[in-house]
Structure 1
Amino acid sequence: MGGLLVLAGLGLIIFGLTRKRGQKWKGVLGGVLVLVVGAALSPSPEQGTQPAPAAQIGESPAQAPASQPSKASSTAEPGTTLRVGIWDITAGHAEIKRLKVLGNEYVNTRADDGFVYALVPVSVTNVSNKTDSLLFVTWVLQDSQGREYEVETLSDMYLPEGARLDLVDVPPGATRSGYLVYQVAENASGLVLIVRAGLSGEKSWQLE
């Protein structure tokens, strides 16, 4: 409103200056009056502007909620059958044996000091339509302290013939069962078997 009156007052002043000498003062005087009234009604630059509220002490700007971490892949119960590539694998379906000595009184091997042999029962079935082997599958045993143990590939020769796990040249539909042999710390507990099969992924069983 005030701004319009200011403009009108300026217009009257200019118009009065263009009039004849006798009428010039009337136009100028009227324009001045309108200009004064308009200036009085015009808001000051500081009016209508409110300062942004100050942040409260201890408050932080709103943040987007952090994304939830993805859950680790679940570990199967003992005796569960899981598909790994072309293989159905079952682990922990029988008791894990812990022995200090493998073999018999004539031919045997003894675990290192502070270690025992852990015999982990495993069963594998070839679900493809061709003969294949598990030569490139890694079988890792892990305890509750995060220590990992590798298969004792030469120790299974001390197992009875029916307890050995033959993972070579398994025909389609055939199942092979036996024990994987590990040397684990004598205080190892909470054993988990982890199967790592490259592009086929990783599966695990909580054995105890």
Structure 2
Amino acid sequence: MIGIVDYGRGNLRSVEKALEKVGFEATIMTSPEDLDGVDGLILPGVGAFADAMEALNSGRWIQPLIQFARSGHPFLGICLGMQVLFEVGEEHGEHAGLGLLEGRVVKFPPGGKIPHMGWNTLSHEQPSRLLEGIPNQSYFYFVHSYYAQPSEKHDIIASSDYGIVFPAVVGKDNVWGAQFHPEKSSPWGLQLLTNFGKWVNDYAALSSH
């Protein structure tokens, strides 16, 4: 079972429907207590970094999410949900993130149209289970004004180019993030969610032994 975190900042139903479309059972979770019943987790997000962290804090999500990730369960952040995986966000001043990945989230430099909105290609930087079956330079749908700067180059799985090259997929161990919206990215977005779903099922099978 895949849990989708409802903290008032996400595009929940479309993520749930996309998972169901590719054959994976998902549940929208309104309380940290619900984490006990799921094998993997998706943290969606739309809006500002500080607002998201405030909403996670007021919902008592922060420590349970960190513990869930550190216990080895598959964990995927989407869009703003990817950004809050990092240590610090610079939107409206500096704010602490979940700190599951090292690095910070910064604003696109002036010059281009902000937000970066629409379809853009992924350049694979290294092999990843999350990108299996997805050709290099496939298109995905983005909407964001800030981007991640991981401290570890090895945490960048795929990049995209919007005047500057920025990380589009990040990951370390069992914690992954996609800057784009896979649920809005047609066949390749569904392939990424399929890959994540298979990973969750494998984890659940191993854990049950």
TM range (shorter): under 0.3
Query: Which structure has more helix as a fraction of its residues?
Result: 2
TM-score normalised according to structure 1 size: 0.23
TM-score normalised according to structure 2 size: 0.23
Larger Rg computed on CA atoms: 1
